[in-house]
Amino acid sequence: MSFTNQEKFVDSPRRWALRGDLLDFTAAPRWGDTEPPAVRFDRDHWLLIEDGRIVGRQAAEPDAGWARKDHAGKLVLPGFIDTHVHCPQLEVIGSYGTELLDWLKRYTFPSECTFADPARSRAGAEVFLDALLASGTTSAVVFPTVHKVSAEALFDSAAARGMRLITGKVLMDRHAPDGLRDDVVQAEKDCVDLIARFHGRDRLAYAVTVRFAPTSTPEQLAMAGALCRADASLYMQTHVAENRAEVAWVAELFPDARSYLDVYERVGLVHERSVLAHGIYLDPHDRVVIADRGAQVAHCPSSNLFLGSGLFDWPGAAFNISLASDVGGGTTLSLPRNMLDAYKVQALRGERMTAWVALHAATRGAAEALQLGREIGGLSVGQTADICVWDWAQGPVAEARDAVARELHERVFAWMTLADERNLAACYVAGQQRI
Ligand SMILES: [Zn+2]
């Protein structure tokens, strides 16, 4: 199955130049440092783009051989990378009154059941990816549903948009309603087929996708680990230690495991391409394991606040941390909104997070943790031209605030606090304008 909606996209010329205030990172900013050398800010500069890649970054206006997009006075950032988000949960966003396990049963599982229908999967994927782009997110690590067709729809729709997408059929063979369970043999066949067809094609990559420990039998977890061991280029995504009741349930289901994380670790699911969502209730040993393996935690502040899951210890972590929306537990696809929520989570813990730490986690930090740092997450020569252009301020309140900002961090922090998808002026994916 293949489908595109290319007709709505504006083709950019082969060689073109973009003007604006360029902001990205050359390294990870230190916690609490508002003026780190890792920040690279070039006011009123030009990016030169050829065949979808950045080939120049300069102050001087390019010669007449370059077509141009003049975004003077606007903020130019790398496209955001959302490292944990659920395509089929777009419609359960903002569902009232529950914690994680009840929320799955009441809202999420019924919605996910409908993705057995290929037409529904395809329409859901297209709406979802267009919504990501409209939020300034050009790359994502995504959960579809247990249905093979839901992963196919996401891969095909992302390829049609030129997006970098990491996903894989969800594995769940127990503790889920009828219509949302697979079995080990069929699930393995489906994974092998999807890997062969999509992993490494265009900008797509496959993630062995375990929903979470309670919904997979030990046999299925072992199969998932074997897939990862057989091909080190595969990603792995799952949830870990999000909620106290969930952690207690995992301890009951896996009495031999040292911890929740250990359920994954002992079968080979924790490695340098593992994306572990949440990680609120990790113990000190878990933290060392994640750091040693080079895995990352996708921090989901909007979801953690909305579902009342808990407060993630960011400054205490020595492992890679990326930023994620976790829609529909999260209440917005906008990563600036999630940066603000991340700031509030730390404020409740008595800590203060700089705009640099937040922005880095949504761009270069996520790219490095996904082993894609040469490709995405920055505005350097050689990287793919996944670029978003933002209004520094939208509306009278933000304009008044922006007008009095003096230091760069002050200005960017106010932007992060007040911006959302309405600030997005343009979005380019591999050099093609999508918004
Ligand atoms: Zn999630």
pLDDT tens-digit series, residues 116-142: 999 999 999 999 999 999 999 999 999
Alpha carbon of 411 to ligand 1 centroid (Å): 32
**H or E, element range at 303:** helix 301-306
CA of residue 57 to ligand 1 center, whole Å: 37
CA of 66 to the centre of ligand 1 (A): 43
Q: Which residues of the chain have pLDDT under 70?
A: 1-11
Return the axis-axis angle of helices 148-161 and 118-134, rounded to nearest 10°: 40
User: What distance in angstroms lies between residue 298's CA and the mean position of ligand 1's atoms?
Assistant: 10
Spacing, Cα 210 to ligand 1 middle (Å): 11
**Cα 335 from chain centre:** 9
* Euclidean distance between CA atoms 278 and 282, whole angstroms: 9
pLDDT per position as a tens digit, 303-322: 999 999 999 999 999 999 99
Phi, psi at 123, each rounded to 5°: -65, -40
Look up residue 386 and give its two tokens.
Answer: 């996944």
Question: How far, in Å, from the CA of 397 to the mean position of ligand 1?
Answer: 33
189 Cα distance to chain centroid: 27
Please tell me the predicted confidence (pLDDT) of residue 6.
Answer: 40
Question: How many whole angstroms from 354 Cα to the centroid of ligand 1?
Answer: 25
Cis status of the peptide bond prior to 328, with omega within 30 of 0: yes
CB 354 within 8 A of CB 33: yes
What are the backbone dihedrals phi and psi of residue 39, each rounded to the nearest 5 degrees, phi first? Answer: -80, 130
Determine the distance separating the centroid of ligand 1 and the alpha carbon of 221, expressed in angstroms: 18
Report residue 414 as tokens.
């106010």
Q: Where are the beta strands (DSSP E) in 144-214?
A: 164-167, 170-171, 204-210
Q: How far is the CA of 108 from the centre of ligand 1 (A)?
A: 10
Instruction: Please calculate the CA angle 15-20-25 and round it to the nearest 5 degrees.
Output: 95
Q: pLDDT value at position 11?
A: 66
The CA dihedral of 372, 377, 378, 381, to the nearest 10 degrees, is 40
- Residue 129 tokens read as 């990816």
Taking the centre of ligand 1 as the mean of its atom positions, its distance from the CA of residue 54, in whole angstroms, is 33
Q: What is the DSSP letter of 382?
A: T
The sheet with strand 387-390 has its strands ordered as: 53-58, 39-50, 15-25, 67-78, 387-390, 424-429, 432-433
User: Residue 409 pairs with which residues in a beta bridge?
Assistant: none
**Ligand 1 centroid to residue 15 C-alpha, Å:** 39
Helices 408-418 and 395-404 sit at what angle, rounded to 10 degrees?
170
* Amino acid at the residue 349: R
- For position 94, what pLDDT does the model report? 93
The pLDDT assigned to 7 comes to: 38
pLDDT recorded at residue 10 = 56
Place of tokens 């979808």: 52
Beta-carbon-side half-sphere exposure of residue 93 (alpha carbons within 13 Å): 17
pLDDT for 12 equals 74
